[in-house]
Amino acid sequence: MKTGFTHLFIPGPTNIPEDVRQSMNVPMQDMRAPDFGDLTKPLFAGLKRVFKTKTGRVFMYPSSGTGAWEAAITNTLNPGDKVLMSRFGQFSHLWVDMAERLGLDVHVIECEWGTGVPLEEYAKVLEADKAHKIKAVFATQNETATGVSSDIAGVRRVLDAAGHPAMLFVDGVSSIGSIDFRMDEWGVDLAVAGSQKGFMLPAGLSMLGVSQRALEDSKTATMKRCYFDFVDMMKVNDDGYFPYTPPTQLFHGLKTSLARIEREGLENVFARHYRLAEGVRRAVSAWGLRLCAAEPKWHSDTVSAIVVPESIDAREVISAGYRNYNISFGTGLSKVMGKVFRIGHLGDLNEGMCLTALSLAEMSLRDAGYEVELGSGVAAAQGWYRESHEAAQLRQ
């Protein structure tokens, strides 16, 4: 029999803070009641602050993040439109796959898994596209499968340097609300997020930031859409209503999670994610292992994908953790299955929780046959957490 906590260290769904969980435990209510907007309107405003958009708007769909990927494409593009994308992990792959299945003409740049959005290649393709045939450029800000973060401000710079008018689509499912993201400043037209990552909620709510430019383009976009149509949303959203039954409980949870984020302060949330992630990275080095992220510039502050030696199957590490120590680590997906295990470090987390994960990871690695020195990674992370905690205190 399992006793105590089951530790959840996958990169989403993440731990739900107790106050967020309790706030969802409310009776059902009428989503057409005259005061329903009192609950929902502040959520749109709160999400705009997290997305850092004053000029755009944010839609909420009762779907997982994948739904907002589809909403972004079908509302703003036409069948056969040329778009520029890059593939360097399972989630960037799935967005490419969706774009192709929806009938876009996708120029895909294939990249090593462990790298991210290839700015130089994007620059070359955009410079060469003098006729501006490319209608949209896509970027996965945080590739959850490999633990790689990309430079979205850099993509904007590349577009501007080429004088290219393409729209900028960003997948921020495992970054928005946890890693720096600036929709207006970076000129992002479509920004996708999901409830079960940095927003610390169950899955089931996707959020889509949409710029005025994208709203304008949606008026003439001919791709078929129904459930996700911006027009249906806009008809009722301003008064706080939805064109279909919304997930009211998730809205209550979101109200509490947005309040938590605001209380901590968005910049402090980012700083905490960096500090916790850096402890994990130091532990990985102390174990004599490496990250899938090929260079520090690709390091993700929300998830670390840890490469195990060839003689070991990473699935054994995950299964030992689950069977023996009540902890869930993220598995390797697709190309990196068996080669990496992932530690998700996003959402409601602190040093103690990360140290538990690292300590159980050491035991699981040993159980799977890797002779890691027990305590080595934990000690490295402890050192960093103490040192960085002191530095953070001094700054206050």
Q: CA–CA separation, 365 vs 360, rounded Å? A: 8
Residue 57 dihedral angles phi and psi, to the nearest 5°: -135, 165
Q: Other C-beta atoms within 10 Å of 150: how many?
A: 25
Q: Which is nearer to ligand PLP, 66 or 376 (CB)?
A: 66
Q: How far is the CB of 207 from ligand PLP (least distance, A)?
A: 11
Q: Which is nearer to ligand PLP, 140 or 211 (CB)?
A: 140
Residue nearest to ligand PLP (CB): 65
Q: How far is the CB of 140 from ligand PLP (least distance, A)?
A: 6
Q: Which is nearer to ligand PLP, 240 or 247 (CB)?
A: 247
Q: Which is nearer to ligand PLP, 180 or 362 (CB)?
A: 180
Q: Other C-beta atoms within 10 Å of 115: how many?
A: 20
The encoded tokens of residue 197 equal: 């990552």
C-alpha closest to that of 195 among 330, 37, 20, 353:
20
- 327-329/7-9 β-pairing: parallel
Has 315 been labeled as part of a binding site?
no
C-alpha closest to that of 356 among 383, 331, 381, 373:
381
C-alpha closest to that of 143 among 314, 334, 285, 308:
334
Q: How far is the CB of 25 from ligand PLP (least distance, A)?
A: 23
Q: How far is the CB of 279 from ligand PLP (least distance, A)?
A: 22
Q: CA–CA separation, 84 vs 95, rounded Å? A: 12
Q: How far is the CB of 144 from ligand PLP (least distance, A)?
A: 3
Q: CA–CA separation, 60 vs 349, rounded Å? A: 25
Q: Which is nearer to ligand PLP, 171 or 351 (CB)?
A: 171
Contact residues for ligand PLP, defined by CB under 6 A: 12, 64-66, 91, 140, 142, 144, 171, 173-174, 194, 203
Q: Which is nearer to ligand PLP, 173 or 368 (CB)?
A: 173
Q: How far is the CB of 96 from ligand PLP (least distance, A)?
A: 12
HSE-up (13 A, CA, CB side) for residue 100: 12
The encoded tokens of residue 87 equal: 């593939």
Q: CA–CA separation, 312 vs 369, rounded Å? A: 7
Q: Please report where in the chains the tokens 């697709």 appear, as a residue.
A: 334
Q: How far is the CB of 11 from ligand PLP (least distance, A)?
A: 7
Q: Which is nearer to ligand PLP, 199 or 370 (CB)?
A: 199
Annotated binding residues, as ranges?
342
Annotated binding residues for substrate, as ranges?
342
